[in-house]
Amino acid sequence: MLCISYAQETNFWISYADYDSALVFITTDTEIAGFQLTIQVEGQNDLGYLDISIGNLLEELGFMISILPESGTIIGFSLLGNTIPPGDHHLFTVHWELEEENGWIYLNGEPEYWLDLCEFADYVLGDTNGDGLRNIQDLVLAVQFILDNVEFNEIQFCAFDINSDGIINILDIVLWFSFIPDFPPPN
Secondary structure (3-state) at 57: helix
Secondary structure (3-state) at 165: coil
- 173 has pLDDT over 70: yes
pTM equals 0.64
pLDDT of 5-34, one tens digit each? 344 467 888 887 777 788 899 999 989 999
Local confidence band at 57 (pLDDT 50, 70, 90 cut-offs): very high
Residue-level length of the chain: 187
Local confidence band at 44 (pLDDT 50, 70, 90 cut-offs): low
Q: What domains, with CATH codes, occur in the chain?
A: 10-115 (2.60.40.680), 120-179 (1.10.1330.10)
For residues 18 and 139, give the distance between their C-alpha atoms in angstroms, rounded to a whole number. Answer: 30
Secondary structure (3-state) at 13: strand
135, amino acid identity: N
Residue 82 pLDDT:
93
β strands within 102-162, DSSP E = 103-107, 110-115
Residue 67 pLDDT:
86
Please state the φ and ψ torsions of residue 69, each to the nearest 5 degrees. -60, -35
Local confidence band at 142 (pLDDT 50, 70, 90 cut-offs): very high
For residues 146 and 140, give the distance between their C-alpha atoms in angstroms, rounded to a whole number. Answer: 10
